[in-house]
Structure 1
Amino acid sequence: MSSRWIPGNDIQLLENGEEFFPRVFACIANAKQEVVLETFILFEDKVGLQLHQALMAAARRGVQVDVTVDGFGSSDLSDHFIGTLAEAGVRLHVFDPGKRLLGWRWNVLRRMHRKIVVVDGHVAFVGGINYSADHLADFGPEAKQDWAVEIQGPLVSEIHRFTHTALAQGQRYQRTRQWWRSRKQVRVQTQDQPHAGEAAAMLVVRDNGDHFGDIERHYRIAIRSARKRIIIANAYFFPGYRFMKELRRAARRGVDVRLILQGEPDMPIVKTAATMLYHRLLGAGVKIYEYCEKPLHGKVALMDDEWATVGSSNLDPLSLALNLEANVIIRDRAFNQVLSERLDKLMCSSCKQIDRVELGQPSRWQVARSFFAYHFTRRYPGWASWLPRHVPRLLPALASRLHPAYGDQGGKE
């Protein structure tokens, strides 16, 4: 897949589950031919059950439905949940399922972290929102703050082709006989969509093959080109050396650089890692805001007045060097303005700006810890490349029996 600017798109920003879930479920309800969905997390809660019903209803009326979940992120679905999907005709694929050992999930590296939906090759969704109730405000103080985009126009055809390529590549490595082969295949041709708006955009992915560093590279190019402002809101911020250098250089040449990071993280280590970089960033003139209302889960950014990105990729070693990720990069003043207004509101109403004086001088131990942690992240992508690179193998959830335990890889070869 080649990353290229595709003009003529209409792209709408969707904030949190309240805006995202109704649009996705409505499009699935209106699907005529095909639904392709990828997600890291699918929980069997009120959101997951609603998606479950929508997918089954679509399959029962003849729509071809392919769902890919990650074997680490979605490891607790029940036999009933999976079995009823299969009985309705939904084809559920699991990316590298793994059995628990001593109650722990050990298949943590190289996850399928993308969140993509394509319906009838006509409308697509890309972002960071999983299918779980913790993306809704009524979940309580642990509800996540996140964004996605709804896309219509020629870019949808590119995303559609990408999802089918991912399915074909993953299925090629299945060790078991595909249980759906007896079903008649509904072949949906990818047709280039007509222009639907004014936005130019591209799909940028990160994988462990030809697109190992594409997302980070596009970030760095945009940061290097910025002349007025940079706003990055990212849940897991611990980038490598070159990324940090570009941010500091931008601030020193007068660009208004602002980072929105987690103040109430879902994992304490996230804040510890990010604060190790605060002195370096603040010293260069970067402004840091901690979002304190609830856990920040977003992965969005904007540069100057046109460039913006929304997607699944965090700015940490897992996303930048190991996981399979997907971001949409958008060049459009109207979309940039909408995202800017949302982020400005976030900074004004729900964030605490980090003051360099209040932060104080770090102790010798903090300096040493920061030094080693910082340079570890600089080298981490290279070290990670030495790890075994298993192929992106998909297994049908019901590969060996009608209602197997989720992630069971047993059965005949």
Structure 2
Amino acid sequence: MSRLDPAAGLRWTQGNRLELLENGEAFYRRVFAAIDAARTELQLETFILFEDEVGWALQRRLLDAARRGVKIRVLVDGYGSPGFSPGFLDPLVQAGVDFRAFDPQPTLLGMRLNLFRRMHRKLLVVDGARAFVGGINYSADHLRTFGPDAKQDYAVEVEGPVVAGIHRFVREGAAGATPAAGAETETQGRADAAFVVRDNRHHRTDIERAYREAIRAAKSEIIIANAYFFPGYGFLRELRHAARRGVTVRLILQGEPDVPAAMLAARSLYRHLMRDGVEIYEYCARPFHGKVALVDEEWATVGSSNLDPLSLSLNLEANLLVRDRMFNRQLRARMQRMWRDDCTPVAAAAAARGRRWWLPSSLLYHVLRRFPAWAGWLPAHRPRVVPLAEATRGGRAGAAAQAAGSAGHDAVAPRGRRRA
């Protein structure tokens, strides 16, 4: 059963089963098992797919599934996944995998310039009945064995009626697709869930609006753990108002960033938030990549969307919203362990460092308030989705990498710093 939430414009479905997955160890185990069990169809979208131990493990499983007759569609981002070697790509194409790149662009002196309006979603739908939504890419830097630079991140596995909307969305593969449509699958659990996307056509503010509706309704507690935190003025105002009315507001942000400028931007906001009672913790165990939040005992979200201008105003994103006390307790326990064991509480003295930001406070707020409108001035060409099968015709070595906008096989090395 589904019901429309007119205030937020969301379609909530009842009867879903959810499992929170933390880091690559849990995520890849469940995803690979689901791919191995697939019987009819796999729809996979990811920002990053690297030719490392994780990427090759995925490739082998996709090949096995294709050979037993499973219909497979893979969409990777042309910036996040800039190229593939013929040894990686050709067997997939020859096995019938529909492998595509979202808006690949040529490089300039080996540099990728197509940073804006990226396909940043991380989605997998198996047989139209099971879905994975979150922030984890297919790369070894989500595994602890990667070392100090291994990312901390989350995803959710879901079965139930909400999967129908996710399935239709990925099958249509269009930025303007409506995720609420589709015949519902059977009830699997007790959780209410809603699938929400952000695009540059019809759903420009849906994810931010869902956050802000939940924040405004908060009665006791808000916990947001987000890798890149630089939201707009209205979002910050909602957090400050919540703290002032007695809601406990905790932010878990990066303390060991993979992009130092992102941490500096977030720190410029600390003083304004803390003077209204917002608690801020910096995660220092390793780079933080998560995009999760909870409000009170029932509302939660897991997905791909950061809370910064790229995610809120430019990129294509997807989150799952959840209303379920059991799921919230599980997510809260994970975040509580983080802020107690692996985070440094930000004190007022540390927050004052944010005053060194080069913009005066009033101008900074003005920029934040106006950024979504200004972002619309950035290049708004219609992104191309390129079938990489075309790149393999003619048998030229390296053609696939060229078609994906790569400078060569070295471009897939996973250890370079990259927002994900």
* Fold agreement, TM-score > 0.5: yes
* Identity, % of aligned positions: 55
Q: 1:143 to 1:329 in 2, by over 3 A?
A: same
- How far is the alpha carbon of 1:78 from its aligned partner? 1.4
Task: Please give the residue correspondences for 1:39-58 in structure 2 after superposition, counting only pairs within 5 Å.
Answer: 39-58=46-65
Is the contact between residue 97 and residue 407 of structure 1 (CA under 8 Å) also seen in structure 2? no
Bigger shift: 158-167 or 68-77? Answer: 158-167
Gaps of 5+ in 1: 171-189
Q: Mapping of 1:133-152 within 5 angstroms?
A: 133-152=140-159
Do 2:123 and 2:132's aligned partners in 1 also have CA atoms closer than 8 Å? yes
Residues 231-246 of structure 1 aligned to structure 2 (within 5 Å):
231-246=223-238
Equivalent residue for 1:378, pick from 358, 369, 373: 369
Deviation of 1:392 after TM superposition, in Å, equals 4.0
1:406 partnered with 2:401: yes
Counterpart for residue 75 of structure 1: 82
Q: 1:203 aligns with which of 188, 192, 195?
A: 195
1:97 pairs with one of 81, 104, 110: 104
Map of 1:347 onto structure 2: 339
RMSD across aligned C-alpha pairs, in angstroms?
Answer: 1.9
Equivalent residue number for residue 11 of structure 1: 18
Find the residue that maps to 2:173 and give its secondary structure. Answer: helix
Kept in 2: contact 1:207–1:323 (CA 8 A): yes
1:288 aligned residue (277, 280, 287) = 280
Letter in 2 for 1:279: R
CA contact (8 A) 1:277 1:370 kept: no
User: Paired residue for 1:302?
Assistant: 294
Deviation at 1:300, TM superposition (A): 0.2
Amino acid at match of 2:122: K
Residue matched to 2:241: 249
2:117 corresponds to: 110
Paired letter, 1:305: E
Q: TM-score, normalised by structure 2?
A: 0.89
Amino acid across the alignment from 1:406: A
**Runs of 5+ consecutive residues of structure 2 not aligned to the other structure:** 406-420
What is the letter of the counterpart of residue 243 of structure 1? Answer: F
* 1:394 Cα deviation from its structure 2 partner: 1.0
Superposition pairs for residues 253-332 of structure 1, below 5 Å? 253-332=245-324
Per mean C-alpha deviation after superposition, the further-off stretch among 266-275 and 389-398 is 389-398
Partner letter of residue 89 of structure 1? G
Amino acid in the other structure paired with 1:149: V
2:337 alignment partner AA: K
In 2, the alpha carbon distance for the partners of 1:134 and 1:361 equals: 31
Question: What does the per-residue CA deviation read over 1:171-208, in whole Å, with 9 as the maximum and x for residues that have no partner?
Answer: xxxxxxxxxxxxxxxxxxx7531100000010000000
Does 2:388 match 1:397? yes
For residue 70 of structure 1, what is the amino acid of its counterpart? D
For the residues of structure 2 that align with 1:227 and 1:359, how far apart are their CA atoms?
26
Compute the displacement of 1:167 (Å). Answer: 5.6
Return the alpha-carbon distance in structure 2 between the equivalents of residues 199 and 283 of structure 1: 36
Aligned-pair distance for 1:366? Answer: 3.8
Q: Distance in 2 between matches of 1:373 and 1:89?
A: 51
Q: Deviations over 1:85-144 (max 9, x none)?
A: 101211101100111111100111100000000000010000000000000011011000
Contact 2:78 2:404 in 1 (8 A): no
List aligned pairs for 1:147-186, cutoff 5 A. Answer: 147-166=154-173
CA deviations on 1:288-330 (whole Å, 9 max, x unpaired) are: 0000000000000000000000000000000000000000000
How has the CA–CA distance of structure 1 residues 100 and 288 changed in structure 2, closer, same or farther, with 3 Å as cutoff?
Answer: same
Tell me the TM-score normalised to structure 1 length. 0.91
The residue that corresponds to 1:27 in the other structure is 34
- From the superposition, tell whether residues 266 and 160 of structure 1 become closer, same or farther in structure 2 (CA, over 3 Å): same
